Amino acid sequence: MSGAYTDLHQLVELGRDARTLGIYSAQHVRSALSGQHRSRLRGRGIDFDEVRRYQAGDDIRSIDWRVTARSGIAHTKLYHEERERPVVVLLDQSPAMFFGSHLNFKSVTAAECAAALAWAALEHGDRIGGLLATGAPERLFRPYRSRQTLLHWLQAIVDANQRLTSSTPPAPANYLADTLASLYPAIDSGAALFIISDGLSLNEACEPHLHRLGKHHDLLFLRVTDPLEHNPPEAGLYPLKQSQGQAILLNTRSARVRQHYQQGCTEQLQRVEQRLGRFGIPLQEIDAGQATLPQLQALFPGQRGAGRG
């Protein structure tokens, strides 16, 4: 159990079991437009290398007919697998993520997801980069295939996570949109892009950036939820803090209040699905009330070399 905060030791320890995650094999990814369906993030591509004379055993489908016609001698196109692929994680560590009712705060589960995906990408030989969404300007960690860079990124996650308190001022309304906007010009097309957030700060200002990122990258949204967002608490009095920073007292002794609470949470989650589904962005849910790694292992079936093709 991690609880309200994570630390560097915990995020490094995740690497032992997270390295075998097949990060390009997401199963049963949910999209609001297409319902439940199987989806795979695109693995590494195949790049054209050179043309040489045809040799016995070459695949005839690879014959370069233009060169063959011009030279009068059969030639074959040769290809090679991309050596590496950038994997970029946008991680929400805004004050609104500092909430939890069971096992972890959402901010902790999100941090664990980011660390696990980063270790898996590095194990697969890919470059890993990241950007924090906190409501304040943050350094972009450009994709590198380097354990040292990854450790610096994990330390930045820990620093942001441990700065969160119940009295931290709320982030600006468009903090997530601003972070998405800064990410687009900073990474090359064709990256595997993971956005890890509860999604409740997705607003209209995010839409053009989601659309653009979704067109140029393989994008997967990991939505971190708390059990209370699916089921209302038992009857009682609960002190809560709204995302705007205002403290309130939730009285769930009334069945009507519990029903209204449940309806409000359901509508919030549906708005996230609809906004992402509008741009065909696949969505998967991670429950902060359960251990993080088993959920990721179910989503990204662990098989050696899953990211190599």
Helix (H, G, I), strand (E, B) or coil at 226: coil
- Strands in the chain per DSSP E: 30-31, 35-36, 46-53, 75-81, 86-92, 127-133, 141-144, 192-197, 218-225, 237-241, 247-251, 283-287
Q: Cα separation of 229 and 265, whole Å?
A: 5
Q: pTM to 2 decimals?
A: 0.79
Helix (H, G, I), strand (E, B) or coil at 30: strand
Residue 245 has what pLDDT? 54
Q: Mean per-residue pLDDT for 20-46?
A: 51
Q: Mean per-residue pLDDT for 29-58?
A: 54
Residue 25 has what pLDDT? 59
183 and 157 in contact (C-beta within 8 Å)? no
Please compute Rg for the chain using Cα positions. Answer: 22
Confidence of residue 28 (pLDDT cuts 50, 70, 90): very low
Q: Residue 81 above 60 pLDDT? A: no
Residue 67 has what pLDDT? 87
> What's the fold here for domain 8-42+85-299?
Rossmann fold (3.40.50)
CA distances from 244 to 169, 170, 172, 173, 240 (A): 8, 6, 9, 9, 11
Residue 77 has what pLDDT? 81
Q: What is the pLDDT of residues 166-188, one digit of tens each?
A: 889 999 999 999 999 999 999 98
Confidence of residue 255 (pLDDT cuts 50, 70, 90): confident
Q: Domain limits of the chain?
A: 8-42+85-299
Q: Residue 298 above 60 pLDDT? A: yes
Confidence of residue 38 (pLDDT cuts 50, 70, 90): very low
Q: Cα separation of 218 and 101, whole Å?
A: 32
Q: Residue 308 above 50 pLDDT? A: no
Residue 40 has what pLDDT? 45
Q: What is the pLDDT of residues 217-237, one digit of tens each?
A: 999 999 999 998 888 777 777
Confidence of residue 304 (pLDDT cuts 50, 70, 90): very low
Backbone angles phi, psi at 192, to 5 degrees: -90, 115
- Strands in 184-243 per DSSP E: 192-197, 218-225, 237-241
185 and 153 in contact (C-beta within 8 Å)? no
Residue 4 has what pLDDT? 93
247 and 241 in contact (C-beta within 8 Å)? yes
Q: Cα separation of 86 and 220, whole Å?
A: 14
